Amino acid sequence: MTPADKQKLTTAFNNAVNASPYADEPVQGIATHDGQPVTRRMLVEATLQAPQFFNEVDKVIATGKVTLDQIIEKFEDGMKKPIRGMRP
């Protein structure tokens, strides 16, 4: 994954989180060390700081079955919806 692709992915994910009305929903079953709930925003921030995330995205793209733009689009669509089971 090129530095430009990493930046594109990071920018797109951050923009999707910032635009999402559900970004601060807690993720069920995940908590901080002190027991506080982890939000979708916090989870994305932590994910984008992990080099392994970009390595895994690169592997998926290398299969030729999905593009970077498709990954971004799927994430953006997901951030527009609440977490299943969290809201009626």
Give just the sign of the alpha carbon dihedral 54, 10, 78, 71: negative
> With the C-alpha atoms ordered 62, 68, 70, 72, is the resulting torsion angle positive or negative?
positive
C-alpha to C-alpha distance for 36 and 67, rounded to whole angstroms: 35
**pTM for the predicted model, two decimal places:** 0.87
The tokens for 76 are: 């953006």
pLDDT, tens only, 5-37: 999 999 999 999 999 999 999 999 999 999 999
- List, for residues 39-63, the tens digit of each pLDDT value: 999 999 999 999 999 999 999 999 9
Q: For residue 26, which phi and psi values (nearest 5 degrees)?
A: -70, 145
Residue 51, helix vs strand vs coil: helix
